[in-house]
Chains A and B, each alone.
Chain A
Amino acid sequence: MADVTQREQSGDGYGDGDGNGNGNGNGNGYSHGDGYGHGDGHGDGDGGLRALAMRPVLRPGRWWAPTVGVLALIVAWGVAAWVVQYHRGLGSAGYNDHAFWAIYIADVVTFIGVSYGGAVVSAILRLTGAEWRAPLTRIAEGTAVVTVLIGGAFIFPHLGRPERILELIYRPNLSSPIFWDFVAVSTYAFASMVFFYLPLIPDLADAADRVTAAGRPRLGRLYRLVSWRWRATPAQRRILSGSVGLVAIMIIPLAVSVHSVLSWAFALTSRPWWHESIWAPYFVVAALYSGIALVIVIVALFRKLYGLQALIGERHFVRLGFILAPFGAAYLYLTLADFLPGGYVGDHGVAAVFSSVLVGRYAIGFWLFVVGGCIAPLLVIAIPRLRHTRQIVAAAVLVDLALWLKRMIMVVAPANYGRISGLFGSYHFTWISVSVTLAGVAAIPLLLLLLFRVVPILSVAEIEELAHAEQQVHIPSPAVIPAPTPVGVNTRRQPSDLLGRPATFDIAPETP
């Protein structure tokens, strides 16, 4: 215990705490004075936290390979379905003269939207200094990267001639919203990768020796290569902190621009209900709403898979729920604001589409969205008795399903409306379109499982930094230092208080 305390106060920046394991019990062992500690772990005061962070990399568990295998099979099935569709034509995916935009566009909007949530949640929590964010940021940022790649990939099955997508580069139509979609999504994807990578540098430097010792020398070399000889010196920390802050600021307007441009691909088309000025903010709010919901779901999933309950507690879910709720209410309001003027004026096309959505063939889906995707989640967050992890996760799942349903309706209903005949065409799901969509859904956990097989799932440096800062805030002055407490009783504020429920981090020892 004395060793650990001495290291805490030394502020040496990268003290190689060889530790004696005593720090585990009271949870104060993971402070190195600078936050970006370089402890090598095994048995030291913060060995539990580091072991936990590296567990997916070094010892993911027996379930990992079968799970990845099943998910990869689903993805492969989806790719095979796409190949079949490529040969048979878009009609095999249910597309026709009326439904010229359908499920794949709904998928693009959904997946890129949920990406937005992960990035913006992490950026906002960083910029506002929310201390409880630390165990969540890596998962949220990873989700953002993975989902934007999947969402962008969904444009390929939407195209009958996908090879022509290269024309966006060498024959761009600068007046087309599709071109600007391409620009915005690719820029945002790159920014989200940078945003994921920069906070990773201290953790990679920290884990390089560990993975080498664990028998993965190539990964260790890779870690050293991309961590740029990180030693957590003050100058290094200053540079990294400033850069992360800059990218966090940049990613918010970038994400707003992505979903605005995505909405303009609809709104700049003169079709009833698409041609609405409210659609840009409508899409942005929907993206945030569904994105935060997906962060909740993914965090819950990986918390369960990798045993992160010690770090991610109910309090995190409740707080994410508190962030989720206003966006749900805002989306409900924007839905009303979207329908009211068009429905009141009653232009033929708009009235026909709204009628089909509110009381016609799409009504079941729409009202399922209203009740399941907006009202029920709001009630879960609003009623204290319901405000628990399981219910919040269930509400988040509902939100994501309902928002996909809503996007399907928003895409298909106006596309199906014949402006000359005033009649609706039809769109039907096919095994191909469903397979491709399910492959996208399965690709999220698959890519995240693979991603966290090579990078730490927790931002250890950030957790340590925040815990240390909190400890410093609460260190009493000598004049008010209380009398020594009996051995075994720790009255100092526990770092785990910041991170959810009390934690000890004495996870099962890692076997190299």
Chain B
Amino acid sequence: MTPTPRPHPRPTARLAARLVARLAGLAGLTAAAGALILAGAGTGGGAAWAAAATPTVTTISVAPTPGKAPNLTLSATVTGDTATPVDFYVTTTLFGNPQLVPLGPATPAKGVATLTWTPTWTGNETFTAAVANPATGKIVTKAAASYTVTAATPGMSTAQANTPKPLATFGRGMVGFLLAIVFAIWATLLATLWRVSRGVAKHATT
């Protein structure tokens, strides 16, 4: 008795089965990698914070940079994790509600993060040093201090203003060219008047 052959699976079904198997494999790999990361095998700082001490910004101080007025030196003292960069901010109300305008990051050295900043306006300002969770971007610790800025450099520095513009050379040439055209026009008009006066008077009888 000849066994009844099993029906051959249709190509579409075969393809779907393979796809499901591969997706399952991928999911397994992902799950494994996630487990490793959660176990601290990854490189994320957030994960590191799970095992080590969470950073804390204890103080921020502002002082003029010696010999480089009007620059200011912003210093933040950090405890706990000192590998994560500290972000410095200044508070502004220029565009509505108070908001932190980033001034730049600095990595702590021996527990102190330092940033040199050139103020562009004077007045009483609030400076903030903060550390954000690299995984979420949320600020986890910060400290603020007020400081009266007494000297500032305009946003557009003199050096910038004095830097020749890209088309400056062309512009100078253009001015000369235009002045030459204007001169030629005036010369032509005056020459025309002279030609008419002389010519008409000269040919009065011819």
Interface residues of A (CB under 8 A from B): 174-175, 180, 183, 187, 190-191, 194, 197-198, 201, 227-231, 233, 235-236, 239-240, 243, 246-247, 250, 254
Question: Cβ of B193 < 8 Å from any Cβ of A?
Answer: yes
B193 adjacent to A194 (CB under 8 Å): yes
Question: Cβ of B196 < 8 Å from any Cβ of A?
Answer: yes
Can you name the residue of chain A whose Cβ is closest to the Cβ of B193?
Answer: A194
| Complex contacts, A187 vs chain B, CB 8 Å | 182, 185-186
| Closest-CB distance, A264 to chain B (whole angstroms) | 12
A228 adjacent to B196 (CB under 8 Å): yes
A240 adjacent to B200 (CB under 8 Å): yes
Q: Fill in one digit per residue for B173-206: 1 if any A CB lies within 8 Å of its CB, else 0.
A: 0010010001001101100110111011101111
B206 adjacent to A235 (CB under 8 Å): yes
A240 adjacent to B204 (CB under 8 Å): no
Q: Which of A227, A228, A240 has the most CB of B within 10 A?
A: A228
B195 adjacent to A250 (CB under 8 Å): no
Q: Nearest 9 pairs between A and B by C-beta? A: A235-B203, A239-B199, A229-B204, A228-B200, A228-B201, A174-B175, A236-B203, A243-B192, A236-B200
A194 adjacent to B192 (CB under 8 Å): yes
Question: Cβ of B171 < 8 Å from any Cβ of A?
Answer: yes
A236 adjacent to B185 (CB under 8 Å): no
B204 adjacent to A233 (CB under 8 Å): yes
| Closest-CB distance, A15 to chain B (whole angstroms) | 15
A239 adjacent to B189 (CB under 8 Å): no
| Complex contacts, B200 vs chain A, CB 8 Å | 201, 227-230, 236, 239-240
- Give CA–CA (A55, B196) in the complex, Å: 27
Majority secondary structure, B binding face: helix
Residue from B175, B192, B205 in contact with A231 in the complex, judged by beta carbons closer than 8 Å? B205
- Give CA–CA (A235, B206) in the complex, Å: 7
- Give CA–CA (A368, B182) in the complex, Å: 39
A247 adjacent to B192 (CB under 8 Å): yes
- Give CA–CA (A110, B23) in the complex, Å: 75
Q: Which of A187, A227, A239 has the most CB of B within 10 A?
A: A239
Residue from A183, A191, A228, A250 in contact with B197 in the complex, judged by beta carbons closer than 8 Å? A228
- Give CA–CA (A411, B96) in the complex, Å: 31
Q: List 10 A-B contacts (CB under 8 A).
A: A175-B171, A175-B175, A187-B182, A194-B189, A228-B201, A239-B203, A240-B200, A243-B195, A246-B192, A250-B189
| Complex contacts, B178 vs chain A, CB 8 Å | 180
| Complex contacts, B171 vs chain A, CB 8 Å | 175
A250 adjacent to B185 (CB under 8 Å): yes
- Give CA–CA (A254, B185) in the complex, Å: 9
| Complex contacts, A175 vs chain B, CB 8 Å | 171, 175
| Closest-CB distance, B9 to chain A (whole angstroms) | 58
- Give CA–CA (A414, B186) in the complex, Å: 36
Q: Which of A243, A246, A254 has the most CB of B within 10 A?
A: A243
Residue from B185, B195, B201 in contact with A191 in the complex, judged by beta carbons closer than 8 Å? B185
B182 adjacent to A183 (CB under 8 Å): yes
- Give CA–CA (A198, B185) in the complex, Å: 17
A240 adjacent to B189 (CB under 8 Å): no
| Closest-CB distance, B141 to chain A (whole angstroms) | 36
| Complex contacts, B186 vs chain A, CB 8 Å | 187, 190
| Closest-CB distance, A30 to chain B (whole angstroms) | 22
Can you name the residue of chain A whose Cβ is closest to the Cβ of B198?
Answer: A228
| Closest-CB distance, B95 to chain A (whole angstroms) | 11
| Complex contacts, B195 vs chain A, CB 8 Å | 239, 243
| Closest-CB distance, B199 to chain A (whole angstroms) | 4
A230 adjacent to B204 (CB under 8 Å): yes
| Complex contacts, B189 vs chain A, CB 8 Å | 190-191, 194, 247, 250
- Give CA–CA (A231, B178) in the complex, Å: 40
| Complex contacts, B192 vs chain A, CB 8 Å | 194, 198, 243, 246-247
* Contact flag A198-B196 (CB < 8 Å), given A180-B178, A187-B186: yes
- Give CA–CA (A198, B197) in the complex, Å: 10
| Complex contacts, A233 vs chain B, CB 8 Å | 203-206
Other A-B contacts than A229-B200, A231-B205, A250-B188, 14 sampled, CB-CB below 8 A, are: A187-B182, A191-B185, A198-B192, A228-B196, A228-B200, A228-B204, A233-B204, A233-B206, A236-B199, A236-B203, A239-B195, A239-B196, A239-B199, A243-B196
B199 adjacent to A235 (CB under 8 Å): yes
Q: Which of B171, B189, B204 has the most CB of A within 10 A?
A: B189
* Contact flag A229-B201 (CB < 8 Å), given A250-B188, A250-B189: yes
- Give CA–CA (A175, B201) in the complex, Å: 43
- Give CA–CA (A305, B201) in the complex, Å: 36
- Give CA–CA (A439, B197) in the complex, Å: 36
Q: Fill in one digit per residue for B11-38: 1 if any A CB lies within 8 Å of its CB, else 0.
A: 0000000000000000000000000000
- Give CA–CA (A227, B182) in the complex, Å: 28
Can you name the residue of chain B whose Cβ is closest to the Cβ of A253?
Answer: B185
| Complex contacts, A229 vs chain B, CB 8 Å | 200-201, 204
- Give CA–CA (A187, B178) in the complex, Å: 13
| Closest-CB distance, B90 to chain A (whole angstroms) | 20
- Give CA–CA (A235, B188) in the complex, Å: 21
| Complex contacts, A191 vs chain B, CB 8 Å | 185, 189
- Give CA–CA (A427, B113) in the complex, Å: 54
A231 adjacent to B182 (CB under 8 Å): no
- Give CA–CA (A309, B187) in the complex, Å: 40
- Give CA–CA (A411, B73) in the complex, Å: 48
- Give CA–CA (A198, B193) in the complex, Å: 8
| Complex contacts, B201 vs chain A, CB 8 Å | 228-229
B203 adjacent to A201 (CB under 8 Å): no
